[in-house]
Amino acid sequence: MKFDRLIILGTLFLILGCDQYSNNQSQIKSFVFENKYKNSGFSLVYNDKLKIKKIDQRSLTIFHKTLKKRSYVKITNPINGKSLIAEVKSNRVNFSPFYNSVITERIAKDLELNLTEPFVSIILISRNSTFIAKKSKTFDEEKKVAEKAPIDGIKISNLNKIEKNKKKSKKNKKFSYSIKIADFYYKKSAQNMIKKIKKEVQFTNFKIIQISKTNYRLILGPFNDIKSLKDTFEKINSLYFENLEILKNV
């Protein structure tokens, strides 16, 4: 009898232990996913002419394709280094996959984006991050202030900003971006990927860049105008790559 009880207890221990291990593994995977998500590309600045869900132009909120609602992201303007924290309002809004997000006029203004080239970097901040714990209160306070601000004032400021950005853009280098398809451990893997892509779409301007001894980056480009970049991006995206990025050539 004692032996039978020991067997039963041992079995229960193994089952509970497996469940706990399974739960821990899922939490770890979730945490790693949040830390790993990073994307650079063009954002779509919201306006009333877009046939999508409305968003408050005064808010620090964005629409995203895949990130969970109410998750926090750090958005950076790589040109001037300015960044801010925004909240994902929804991931169920239909917009072109060429854009990595839909942002408000306030975000564009605060980051001083060039509205003809609204290039941004987005990093998902882990829910367990101490950074979020410190910044969430400030974010909520800023959100309340923004909601009370007159929206017309923001639009007027943006009109002035557009003129300034046009002048700045003349001084900047010419439009030049590439599409980052993926990073590979082996160069041969990147070469094989090129062969697979060419079977589906006819592109020739591939490049393999060696980042380190174990990191080979496959890119497509450069592109000298936003139309050809957007058309190519959407064709490549139809092949179901996980996280295509746009890189600015410097």
pLDDT attached to residue 228: 94
Judge whether residue 130 has pLDDT over 90: no
Q: Domain coordinates of the chain in residue numbers?
A: 36-171, 177-248
Maximum alpha-carbon separation in the chain: 88
pLDDT by residue (tens digit) across 60-111?
Answer: 999 999 999 999 999 999 999 999 999 999 999 999 999 999 999 999 999 9
**pLDDT per residue as tens digits for the range 208-235:** 999 999 999 999 999 999 999 999 999 9
Average pLDDT over residues 43-52: 93
**Pairwise CA distance, residues 154 & 58, whole Å:** 7
Helix (H, G, I), strand (E, B) or coil at 220: strand
Distance CA 175, CA 248 (A): 9
Report pTM: 0.69
Q: How would residue 250 be classed by pLDDT, with cut points 50, 70 and 90?
A: low
CB-based burial, 121-156: b 16+ in 10 Å, e otherwise: bbbbbbeeeeeeeebeeebeebeeebeeeeeeebee
Tell me, yes or no, if the two domains 36-171 and 177-248 fold the same way. no
Give the separation between CA 199 and CA 181, rounded to whole angstroms.
16
CATH of 36-171, one of 3.40.640.10, 3.50.50.60, 2.40.40.10, 3.40.50.300: 2.40.40.10
Tell me the CATH architecture of domain 177-248. Answer: 2-Layer Sandwich (3.30)
